Amino acid sequence: MRSFALASALAAATMVHAGPTPTEPELPKRADSLPTVTASGNAFWAGDTRFYIRGIDYQPGGSSANLDPLADSNICKRDIQKFQQLGVNTVRVYSVDNSADHKDCMQALNDAGIYLVLDVNNPQYSINRDKPGPSYNDAYLQSVFATIDEFAKYDNTLAFFSGNEVINDKPESVKSAPYVKATTRDMRQYIGSRGYRKIPVGYSAADVSSNRMQTADYFNCGTDDERSDFFAFNDYSWCAPSSFQQSGWDQKVKNFTGYGLPIFLSEWGCITNGRDFEELGALMSDQMSSVYSGGLMYEYSREGNGYGIVELSGNSDSVTEEPEFANFQSALKKYPAPSGDGGASKTTTSVACPTVDDIWDLDEWGPSNLPAIPEGAVKYMSQGAGAGPGLKGAGSQNAGGTSTGTASPGSGSVTATASGHNGSGRPAPPMDMSIFAIAGIVGAFTLVGTLLL
């Protein structure tokens, strides 16, 4: 009887769909969404495959222009063609308009197999290293959260930077560290509270040897809600001709061994003696793969500083390749990503907060205290940030609505998400899902066999 019922159902389904089917025009084929990237242990993972950042920094017009290259499909598609020629898998963008739509450019990046690492700040909405307290306020966080809202929807958004070189070689700049770390905490809490996937959040540090390790340790100490998902820093110490030892990269690998979070170079590529990009060979080798997860070469377009590898002509289609373009393209082909897990650690670990000294002086915050989230920004966790102010908003650095207290340890934990699910914790290491696929196939055959009895 069951076999008859199954046959009858199949026949009925066939009758419903009988007759000619009108021909519909075929839409342009788009690539499937890229697998989302997670941070686990001391590495990035796309599914259960180790992911290495092999990318380029991208901000046409430079910081002074303050333009969003991902809001203009003509501009981004012009440059994405060049990214594909190079063979990069990631771009970093320093400033975007969180009131604009980015669907076309993010889809074009996805179709090209390219991920985005995004800075959430811009000149109007950022932490002021000279006066960090007043600039950490609810208007600033509203802009940061609105940027997250805009880009969390795209699977090829790889990571967010909570700050870039806020702490630099000026001694007083280290006093901004608690406010940048608080922003990192707030971003991670917002992502969890709004029910988004766990997009990694971290900091991009300046190439300053005197405070690099203190900065790295600071962003990986404290309670779980206070710690970053990764740490990145800018490094221009390998100037051709050089080597793993001569550049000092060997010592940096030793310093960061056992750090417990993914590390990558947010900018690299010295120009002192020309650029052959041979340092990529070290970055992609087993000398570094157990500690580093790649990096982003600085930078795509020439902006008056000699670093770019192409010359752009405004908004036109004109892109002139400099000799360094072919050099970087050749280096990417010559030095592929390592195979396997590259010696990555499966365990995410924290470190002790750096002690306060003459270099690392955090003022009234001491070694580990952080400012509480501004009271006016708490509502965004449950209500959302709303529309972003864009790149032409009134600005936030003196907007008021600042923090008025010290955060309690664990206060940035996610207790519930917008969909009512717990969103706390860090992603588990990738696991082999093949056993579940096999079980599903066996179950399907069992069901069909039962119906035919």
Which residues lie below 8 Å from residue 123, measured CB to CB, with a gap of 6+? 63, 66, 95
Report which residue type is found at 7.
A
Q: How many CB atoms lie within 10 A of CB 438?
A: 10
Cα within 13 Å of Cα(70), Cβ side: 31
Give the strand order in the sheet containing 49-51.
37-40, 43-46, 49-51
Report which residue type is found at 157.
T
Whole-angstrom Cα distance, residue 95 to residue 118?
Answer: 8
387 DSSP assignment: S
Measured CA distances, 143 to 7, 285, 330, 395, 423 (Å)? 59, 39, 40, 9, 22
Q: Are 120 and 147 in contact (CB under 8 A)?
A: yes
- The 3-state DSSP composition of the chain as helix, strand, coil percent (nearest 5) reads 35, 15, 50
Catalytic residues: 165, 267
Which residues lie below 8 Å from residue 360, measured CB to CB, with a gap of 6+? 174, 211, 214, 218, 354
Residue with tokens 């600042």: 402
Report which residue type is found at 107.
Q
Look up residue 359 and give its two tokens.
């270099």
